[in-house]
Amino acid sequence: MHKSYIIILIILVTLFVVKYTEKDNYAQSYTQLNSKSHFFNENMVIESTKHDSFTNINLKNHVSLIFFGYTSCPDYCPDTLAKLNKIFKNLNTNPESAALQVLFISVDLENDGIVTLRKYVEYFNKDFIGLSMSSKALEELTKSVGVYFKKVSSTNDIDFYDHTGTVFIVGKDSRLIGIYSPPFNEKNIKNDITQLLSLND
């Protein structure tokens, strides 16, 4: 019996050491930015698929993954949102996941009305949030965070855009923490978000 207790104790100690060694060895996979400014300017008027309006207050106490694109995007936008949906659903098993939100900001202001935007983002996940704003506000925002977009062609009344494929990470204080550049590793993003969700405000 005495030897059994010793063996059990050794196993428990080993598991404890492995667990905390893994935590200490954690290395983030995103490019860290740590902006001192809030993601949105305070005077911005932003229309949301979930709220009457959207401001930095809606970013508070959440970790937000933000992606710029448009609903007629043939491949890259749906592929990215599908990956973010997998991450979101995977983390949804954790009670802390309520603090994670995914935001999709349209760069196609001519065609992506709020109803179109809502149908699009909710196709991937009913909890995803679509955002739209004036051309002036969009220009201001994209310049401040370094997003490029440009209409390059139109076919059968469908406009096509070149745009930055970066996913932005905004912390619980509504400030930009960092960015993911493609290709995206779903496992690494999940690990990063798990760490960020566990941090105190």
pTM of the model: 0.85
DSSP letter assigned to residue 98: G
CB 129 within 8 A of CB 93: no
The confidence band for 28, taking pLDDT boundaries of 50, 70 and 90, is confident
| Average pLDDT over the chain, rounded to an integer | 87
| Per-residue pLDDT at 162 exceeds 90 | yes
Among residues 191, 164, 169, the alpha carbon closest in space to that of 87 is found at 191
The confidence band for 17, taking pLDDT boundaries of 50, 70 and 90, is very low
Can you tell me the distance from the alpha carbon of 108 to that of 153, in angstroms, rounded to the nearest whole number? 12
Tokens (6 digits) for 146: 């370094």
User: What are 79-120's pLDDT values in tens digits?
Assistant: 999 999 999 998 866 655 568 999 999 999 999 999 999 999
- Domains of the chain, each with CATH number or no CATH: 29-198 (3.40.30.10)
User: What are 62-81's pLDDT values in tens digits?
Assistant: 999 999 999 999 999 999 99
What pLDDT is attached to residue 95?
54
Can you tell me the distance from the alpha carbon of 42 to that of 189, in angstroms, rounded to the nearest whole number? 29
CB 59 within 8 A of CB 174: yes
**Cα–Cα distance list, 141 to 46, 72, 95, 137 (Å):** 11, 21, 32, 6
